[in-house]
Amino acid sequence: MSDFDSNPFADPQDVSNPFQDPSVTQVTHTPPAGLEEYNPFTDGKATAPASAPPRPVAPPPTLNAQPAIMKPTEEPPPYSQPHPQESQAAAELLRRQEELERKAAELDRREREMQSLSASGGRKNNWPPLPEKFPVGPCFYHDITVDIPVDFQKTVKIMYYLWMAHAGTLMANLFGCLAWFCVDAQRGVDFGLAILWLLLFTPCSFVCWYRPLYGAFRSDSSFRFFVFFFVYICQFGIYVMQCIGISGWGASGWISALMALNKSIPVGIIMILIAILFTSLAVMSLIMFKRAYK
């Protein structure tokens, strides 16, 4: 039977098969690296090769290399308004800075004023403003913009205008009492006292309460503030008494004005206007007293 299995056409001398050569079988049975046989019964997913070639490693960055620009992956946060406390703190800092700048400018101005005064031979009295040929010269130096700090100049100016209104009201009271004396001969005492109040209260009010207030704001003197408050309380009491206008006290107040209406309507109207001036002085003096106290 073995004779039937043999190839009759085979060369009996050529026993070796050329296809059985090891070099040929290695090529035909071993697939090249990176390839795999196709299997139709699998799920179609390719399997990774047994051995993958190593990835090339990037060289390290050099010093001159520019950094890569990455696009932002997150959007910037929405704009939010500053907190009220932060805005209040910023406003407070701005206010303090302005105050410091104002004080620095005030010190610079005062220094220039002192230099100019020292160069001209010192301060010269300029109040009351009298002519040069007048036998009596000025008694005080009065300049609010030079002596008084900027923060208190407005208060001192208002007090100075209030003193001027006080002097003008006393002058008007003199004419009102004179008119009342003209229509009623029994009112000579009121006219005489009106002259006395004008000559007495005008300079005394300037020396006793305005000048202490001026000096207190100029030098920050506690003693002068005390003098001003004490005298000004008395001044306020005098304003109230003049506003009432008791007969025989030399003041064209409300009572005297109503009494003058019985004698003469025009004189009564004049005295009513003067009573309104005294009332306004009393109210303004109370307001400025509280302001100066603060």
pLDDT band at 134 (very low <50, low <70, confident <90, very high): confident
pTM exceeds 0.75, yes or no: no
- In sequence order, which residues have a C-beta less than 8 Å from that of residue 77 and are 6 or more positions away? none
pLDDT of residue 293: 83
Does the pLDDT of residue 194 top 50, yes or no? yes
Q: pLDDT tens digit string along 167-177?
A: 999 999 999 99
Is residue 175 within 8 Å of 277, Cβ to Cβ?
A: no
Phi and psi at residue 57, to the nearest 5°? -90, 130
pLDDT of residue 282: 93
pLDDT band at 24 (very low <50, low <70, confident <90, very high): low
- The domain spans of the chain are 148-293
Distance CA 70, CA 85 (A): 37
Residue 208 is which amino acid? C
Is residue 197 within 8 Å of 173, Cβ to Cβ?
A: yes
Distance CA 190, CA 176 (A): 10
Does the pLDDT of residue 16 top 50, yes or no? yes
Does the pLDDT of residue 287 top 60, yes or no? yes
pLDDT band at 130 (very low <50, low <70, confident <90, very high): confident
Q: Out of 22-31, 61-70, 107-116, 173-182, which region has the weakest mean confidence (pLDDT)? A: 61-70
Is residue 139 within 8 Å of 127, Cβ to Cβ?
A: yes
Q: Computed over its alpha carbons, how large is the radius of gyration of the chain?
A: 55
Tokens of 270: 């004049």
DSSP 58: P
Q: pLDDT tens digit string along 238-259?
A: 999 999 999 889 999 999 999 9
3-state secondary structure of 140: strand
**CA 98 → CA 80, 93, 102, 105, distances in Å?**
28, 9, 6, 10
Does the pLDDT of residue 229 top 70, yes or no? yes
Is residue 204 within 8 Å of 235, Cβ to Cβ?
A: no
Phi and psi at residue 40, to the nearest 5°? -70, -15
Does the pLDDT of residue 191 top 70, yes or no? yes
Question: Cα–chain-centroid distance for residue 245?
Answer: 47
pLDDT of residue 147: 85
Is residue 172 within 8 Å of 211, Cβ to Cβ?
A: no
Is residue 250 within 8 Å of 271, Cβ to Cβ?
A: no
Distance CA 294, CA 291 (A): 5
Distance CA 252, CA 173 (A): 6
DSSP 20: G
pLDDT of residue 48: 47
What are the residue ranges of helices labelled H in the chain?
Answer: 2-5, 22-29, 84-119, 144-147, 150-183, 188-205, 211-219, 222-244, 254-263, 265-293
Does the pLDDT of residue 110 top 90, yes or no? no
Distance CA 108, CA 105 (A): 5
Q: pLDDT tens digit string along 74-91?
A: 565 665 665 667 778 888
Q: Out of 20-34, 36-50, 227-241, which region has the weakest mean confidence (pLDDT)? A: 36-50
Mean pLDDT, residues 157-186: 94
In the block, tokens 């050099």 appear at: 62
Mean pLDDT of the chain: 78
Residues composing the chain:
294
Q: Out of 123-132, 190-199, 241-250, which region has the weakest mean confidence (pLDDT)? A: 123-132
In the chain, pLDDT over 90 holds for what percent of residues? 39
Does the pLDDT of residue 5 top 60, yes or no? no
